Structure 1
Amino acid sequence: MSQGLRATEVDLGGLVTVLASHLYSTPLVALRELVQNGHDSLTRRRLEDPAHPGAGRITVRGDRARGTVSVEDDGAGLTEPEIHAYLATVGTGYTRLLREVTGSDELIGAFGLGFLSAFAVADEVTVTTTSHREPAAGHRYRSVGGERYEVAPVPPRAPGTLVELRLKSEHAHVADEDVLREVLTRYCVLLPVPVHLGDDPQPLNAVPVPWRLDPQPADPQQARTAFAARFGRRFEPLATLPVTPRGDSDATGLLWVQDGSTYGTSDNRDLAVYLRGMLLSEDARDLLPRWAGFVGGVVESARLTPTASREDLQRDDHYRAVQAALADAVVDGLYETARLQPGAWRRILARHGQELLGAALCDDRLFALLADDVPVPTSQGDLTAGALRAAGGGTVHVALGSSGGFEEMLYRAMQVPIARGDRYAVLPFLRRYGQLRGCRVVELGSEDGNRALFRDPDRPLAADEAAWLSAALADDGEQLVPVRFAPAELPLVLVPDREAELKQRIEDDRADARIPGAALRLARAFTARTDGGVTARLHLNLDSPAVRSLLDAYRAGHPGAATAAGLLRSMKVVMAAASGEGRGDLTGALAALGDAVAALTAPAPPAAPAPTAPAAAPAVATATATTATATATDHGEDTV
């Protein structure tokens, strides 16, 4: 038998605790909520009483000695039924009803929950109010803890509302004037009504908002820069990028390029979002493109939908429209900066060149703007892609390994800059640049790139010559490759096998623990074609006079061939140490170098003295010496 429907019971005390203490990320949000309520009260009065001449104001006071904070407005006020219906009922609010009736976008409140935030910082909340509809009646609401409340009549005051908070001991610092000024300046900067701290006649939000100025100042850029300098929390602005409504986005505001060096994937996006003039989120970075890690800003919108705590945004169609609009604003703003502010553009490129490389890959318009201007790190310092191509004779050269290495030494000898392909976004940027400009990109360290640099010899070495050179010059794991390359003065170049390096890294036990399983399987599949046995290739330059002389000495059986080969081998190890590759025994190579020099510079052995013939037989001695000389000559021996 059905028991029928029963009403859900609510633990009001528990609900108030959860909503007041856990709905908001910080108790300071209570100040935002109460000031917002004051704003909506002023807006309500203007909508309901158009003849009211007052512009309205909100005043916030802190009293550290008493441990209290108060928020006062001269808006619409509340009647006693409205106190019960809206102030003391969770989930309802007059603001939402008024918005539905009037369609006004100026009202901020939506959920009827904001007043509960007062209990996150206060033990006791008192509201003294007089409605503009009943100016002869005053009422006072009082609640301790938010679970129970009382309403009592009091002498009327001028229409409006005064909210007083008796702070909890752990939040007593909120009453400090410096704390109030800092928090309210951040929360209220875009509110259209003046917010005063105590008796200060200057409103906290008396800040010129560039996109609201009408008419626009003679120098709008100066006004934008001043605003950005004030609200850039971590970095000074290098250039400002206006945000205007476009498409389905109503967002307006200002973005700026921050004067803070960034690199690669560092994310310094810093965006504050205001909803109808009240701060909603100080960290809305996801509204900016992921590649815009160097951008900060302030934007406002009336269409974005807040979450219940009003500290985040719902990811709906309006959210996505604002995302697209801000991406356009960054690209358009950078383009205009490059066109109209060359000095600022140079500073942007100097500060954010590395990150702009990656940003350009994410947006075709940005790539077209940056292709010839953005700096690329090379062996000769930062160069634009255009300068890199010109220095390479129409070819862009990129090293796939880390900075340094024999690749860089080779290019330095050729006096050609080499881009550092191991740096963030450099390699994909230059690949795309090559496609855009129709130029060749040589990737040194890859098989194709190496073939472009090292030409095959006119004729192969004999097997015994190749075996002797390999034994004399190559170390374990190094493969001797006889080739021809420029400059001829460079006898040899050792190029590490980058795939073998990768294989060694990913097979390391520690790498196994760091790399996710799927990524590790992919990396191992990529390196499966190499067994890791050859770790480097020693390219021997057959155009080099030194190498040709070494081969001639070997073919002639010259006893100095081994010493000369030892010199080249030592040179290889010293070059490796200088280039950062760290291959071979540097101490042993230096010792061998010294031994070779000593052998080549050793004095010739002294000549043996000629034999002295006995005085009694001079003719026979002379004949014998002549015969010995002739015999030695016949056998091809050197005479002494």
Structure 2
Amino acid sequence: MTTTLFTTQVNLGGLMEVLSKNLYSTPTVAIRELVQNAHDSCMRRRLESQAPFEPSVHVITNQAKNTLTIEDNGAGLTRDEIVDYLATVGSGYTRFLRDQQAEEIMIGYFGLGFLSAYVVSDRLEVWTTSYQEPEKGWHFVSKGAERYSINEAPPIPIGMRVVLHLSKPFQELAEAFLVEKLLQRYCGLLPVPIYLNNNREVPVNDEPPPWRLDQSAISPIQLKKRRLEFAQRFENYFKPLCTIPVHPTEESEAKGLLWVQDTSTYGTSDNRNITVFVRNMFISSDVRELLPIWAGFVGGVIESDELTPTASREEVQKDDIYEKIQRQINEALIDGLAKIASEEINTWRSILKRHNEALLGAALCDNRLFKMVADDLKVPTSEGDLTVPAIKGRSQNKIYVSIGEEGDYEEVIFRALMTPVVSGIRYAALPFSQRYTELFGGLVVKLGTKSGNAVVFKREKISSEEQEKLQSLLAQPGQQVIPSRFQPSHLPMVLIPDRDYQLKKRIESEELDHRISTGVLSLARIYTKKIQGETAAYFYINLDSPLIQRLLVTEGEAQQQIANLLRSFTLMMGRHHDEELGTDLSEALATFSEAVLQLI
């Protein structure tokens, strides 16, 4: 059987439409691509030509004519090279040079960059003279990328002049101010000087990145200033507070600069931003995954010739090199923060003040970072934000944590003792406290749990008659009286919800069927089936309290009045209205008032 081979057909118009209009996420990339082509042309001339020259690129904006011009004094093109490389999609002489050279001085590779010019222009003109034929000039014209013409023209100085006749939606690219900002961002690391309009003296990329400076020739104060100024160029939304250099390691040759943002963050804030340069050219300003997930308050710029850009050169491939640089940045950030903590005390205090909550979560991701910040970070408590050492110092080496709503019943006893209670429902407060005690000793007591209540309340046995009397006088259905002893002795009793019972009620609520996925809800209900009993809350009765002692020896109507007074007082101290617990704050106030009136 004979197999017939066919040639794949290409719809040139459709292909050019897709490539030119969908390859890049933003049309301003055209400036980056064309300046990069000009840079590579200069590098080619340096490699191939024996004649000395000073490479340069000149960008000219003309709002009156709505044109953008990029000139270079690079190698230029012959007529055949125009056809083979400029007018052929996916073919580039730069790829050949890069494959032949060990030194990474060329940027382009895919031969697609020139397509970006068609995205922003109605018509494209190129004048060029090759160093190989300095006596000849060529004029290339294309409209719409599908057809072009090449005509002989008077020679220009060796190099190339590309003129974009901007289409209406992109005529802002003829504005000098915008183009200058784009050049500084896209081309700020290029070694070839880039001049804009009539300024032939100072290139827009005359400020090298801090890691290229000769640090022996600059004072530490000036270096710090230069780093902050560089960081501000790339930090879009916040002022940099301080900077951390990234140095090459044995694993990665990447280098760059990180900075801590001068803004207040929360635990869930994620303001990470990393700008990546590959072979001196801007690739992307949103490679945030290079930073650790916990560093939501950090920005940076990284330069690496080892990273591999995608075809559009707006992202990098997430390969082994990418992961090595991730580790390198993580190490640099930890080491840099440690250095700031030890050498720049005022700056370190500012970091802690602005990013305290974010650092609580960050510390849980890295033990070195945790040990660095453990004694300085503050957790939210009933007495305000406090460091863990301060909390332990006021609580006999314990950390009491409320896992209910702020101001819940169990906090009453600690307000009376002026003992801080950590708000366990706030971001990272509970796991941070637990990790602290694991590393440095102490005990976390979770209030409202059986184990936590056992630490706070020392249970006591009383006669069955006294137990029944207290139960009938103080408790309502779903509540249980537990005789105990605790401090302060002048606090007669405390109402503590059963957290497991509350969880069971919430999980069994039909309302959750609409808010939680079926799988998660099923797993939760398997757990709550194990929870036995119908006790919603416990009244811990303080047998050391003179009021409780008086209650037990009083009889008749006076006993009930004292009980009503104590119960109402306890509910008001809890400040809650909760039908599940049988607590009604309004009713408690009324009962309290009535009991006082009867006593007086």
**Secondary structure of 1:16 counterpart:** helix
> How many Å apart are 1:252 and its aligned residue?
0.6
> How many Å apart are 1:28 and its aligned residue?
1.2
1:13–1:329 distance in 2 versus 1, CA, 3 Å: same
2:569 corresponding residue in structure 1? 571
Give the one of 330, 333, 353 matched to 1:327. Answer: 330
Greater Cα radius of gyration, structure 1 or 2: 1
Give the one of 317, 322, 334 matched to 2:320. Answer: 317
Structure 2 counterpart of 1:26, one-letter code: T
**Cα distance between partner residues in 2 of 1:530 and 1:229:** 56
For residues 404-419 of structure 1, the aligned pairs below 5 Å read: 404-419=407-422
Deviates more, 1:216-225 or 1:544-553: 216-225
**Cα distance between partner residues in 1 of 2:500 and 2:149:** 77
Counterpart check, 1:148 vs 2:142: no
Does the 8 Å CA contact 1:392/1:416 hold for their aligned counterparts?
Answer: yes
1:529 corresponding residue in structure 2? 530
1:204 corresponding residue in structure 2? 204
1:95–1:532 distance in 2 versus 1, CA, 3 Å: farther
Deviations 1:229-286 (A, max 9, x none): 3332111122211101113212111001111222222211011111112110110001
1:46 corresponding residue in structure 2? 46
**Cα distance between partner residues in 2 of 1:174 and 1:451:** 72
2:8 corresponding residue in structure 1? 8
Deviations 1:494-523 (A, max 9, x none): 222222333333344443333233332333
**Cα distance between partner residues in 1 of 2:239 and 2:533:** 50
Does the 8 Å CA contact 2:576/2:583 hold for their aligned counterparts?
Answer: no
**Cα distance between partner residues in 2 of 1:597 and 1:411:** 26
Give the one of 332, 350, 359 matched to 1:356. Answer: 359
Structure 2 counterpart of 1:562, one-letter code: Q
Structure 2 counterpart of 1:386, one-letter code: P
1:402 corresponding residue in structure 2? 405
**Secondary structure of 2:258 counterpart:** strand
> How many Å apart are 1:371 and its aligned residue?
2.0
2:27 corresponding residue in structure 1? 27
TM-score (norm 2): 0.95
Structure 2 counterpart of 1:460, one-letter code: I
For residues 295-444 of structure 1, the aligned pairs below 5 Å read: 295-444=298-447
1:345–1:152 distance in 2 versus 1, CA, 3 Å: same
1:460 corresponding residue in structure 2? 462
Structure 1 counterpart of 2:332, one-letter code: A
Query: How much identity, in percent, do the aligned residues show?
Result: 47
**Cα distance between partner residues in 1 of 2:578 and 2:105:** 64
Deviates more, 1:307-316 or 1:62-71: 62-71
Counterpart check, 1:488 vs 2:509: no
Structure 2 counterpart of 1:308, one-letter code: A
1:192–1:534 distance in 2 versus 1, CA, 3 Å: farther
> How many Å apart are 1:314 and its aligned residue?
0.6
2:129 corresponding residue in structure 1? 130
Structure 1 counterpart of 2:35, one-letter code: V
Deviates more, 1:258-267 or 1:570-579: 570-579
Structure 2 counterpart of 1:230, one-letter code: R
Does the 8 Å CA contact 2:576/2:584 hold for their aligned counterparts?
Answer: no
Deviations 1:319-372 (A, max 9, x none): 111111011111011111101111111111111111112111211221221222
Deviations 1:12-54 (A, max 9, x none): 1111111111111111111111111111112222222364231
**Cα distance between partner residues in 1 of 2:207 and 2:344:** 26
Q: Any runs of at least 4 consecutive aligned residues in structure 1 with deviations exceeding 6 A, and if so which?
A: 578-583
1:575–1:205 distance in 2 versus 1, CA, 3 Å: same
1:403–1:8 distance in 2 versus 1, CA, 3 Å: same
**Cα distance between partner residues in 1 of 2:171 and 2:53:** 37
**Cα distance between partner residues in 1 of 2:307 and 2:289:** 14
Structure 2 counterpart of 1:544, one-letter code: S
Does the 8 Å CA contact 2:414/2:420 hold for their aligned counterparts?
Answer: yes
For residues 446-595 of structure 1, the aligned pairs below 5 Å read: 446-457=449-460, 459-462=461-464, 464-530=465-531, 533-553=534-554, 557-577=555-575, 584-595=583-594
2:213 corresponding residue in structure 1? 213
Identify unmatched segments of 5+ residues in structure 2.
none
2:18 corresponding residue in structure 1? 18
Deviations 1:382-403 (A, max 9, x none): 2222222222112222222232
> How many Å apart are 1:476 and its aligned residue?
4.0
Does the 8 Å CA contact 2:341/2:348 hold for their aligned counterparts?
Answer: yes
Structure 2 counterpart of 1:97, one-letter code: F
**Cα distance between partner residues in 1 of 2:259 and 2:395:** 36
**Cα distance between partner residues in 2 of 1:249 and 1:318:** 8
Structure 1 counterpart of 2:495, one-letter code: L
> How many Å apart are 1:208 and its aligned residue?
4.0
1:515–1:196 distance in 2 versus 1, CA, 3 Å: farther
1:82–1:384 distance in 2 versus 1, CA, 3 Å: same
> How many Å apart are 1:61 and its aligned residue?
2.1
**Cα distance between partner residues in 2 of 1:44 and 1:445:** 74
Deviations 1:568-596 (A, max 9, x none): 12112211227999972222222222211
**Cα distance between partner residues in 2 of 1:500 and 1:567:** 27
Deviates more, 1:225-234 or 1:357-366: 225-234
Deviates more, 1:393-402 or 1:70-79: 393-402
**Cα distance between partner residues in 1 of 2:177 and 2:251:** 40
**Secondary structure of 2:459 counterpart:** coil
Structure 2 counterpart of 1:588, one-letter code: E
**Cα distance between partner residues in 1 of 2:533 and 2:282:** 58
Does the 8 Å CA contact 1:270/1:284 hold for their aligned counterparts?
Answer: yes
Counterpart check, 1:223 vs 2:226: yes
1:270–1:476 distance in 2 versus 1, CA, 3 Å: farther
For residues 189-268 of structure 1, the aligned pairs below 5 Å read: 189-200=188-199, 201-216=201-216, 217-219=218-220, 220-268=223-271
RMSD, aligned CA: 2.0
Matched residue pairs, number?
Answer: 595
**Cα distance between partner residues in 2 of 1:361 and 1:393:** 25
**Cα distance between partner residues in 2 of 1:229 and 1:6:** 57
1:369–1:215 distance in 2 versus 1, CA, 3 Å: closer
Deviates more, 1:229-238 or 1:31-40: 229-238
Does the 8 Å CA contact 1:404/1:580 hold for their aligned counterparts?
Answer: no
1:50–1:320 distance in 2 versus 1, CA, 3 Å: farther
**Cα distance between partner residues in 2 of 1:540 and 1:430:** 29
Deviations 1:604-625 (A, max 9, x none): xxxxxxxxxxxxxxxxxxxxxx
**Cα distance between partner residues in 2 of 1:381 and 1:292:** 25
Does the 8 Å CA contact 1:402/1:422 hold for their aligned counterparts?
Answer: yes
1:57–1:408 distance in 2 versus 1, CA, 3 Å: farther
Structure 1 counterpart of 2:64, one-letter code: A
1:562–1:487 distance in 2 versus 1, CA, 3 Å: same
Structure 2 counterpart of 1:527, one-letter code: T
> How many Å apart are 1:91 and its aligned residue?
1.0
1:306–1:580 distance in 2 versus 1, CA, 3 Å: farther
Deviations 1:75-108 (A, max 9, x none): 1111111111111111111111101112231211
**Cα distance between partner residues in 2 of 1:480 and 1:329:** 57
1:638 corresponding residue in structure 2? none
**Secondary structure of 1:397 counterpart:** strand
**Cα distance between partner residues in 1 of 2:536 and 2:183:** 63
**Cα distance between partner residues in 1 of 2:544 and 2:577:** 23
**Secondary structure of 1:406 counterpart:** coil
Structure 1 counterpart of 2:168, one-letter code: S
1:630 corresponding residue in structure 2? none
Does the 8 Å CA contact 1:269/1:292 hold for their aligned counterparts?
Answer: yes
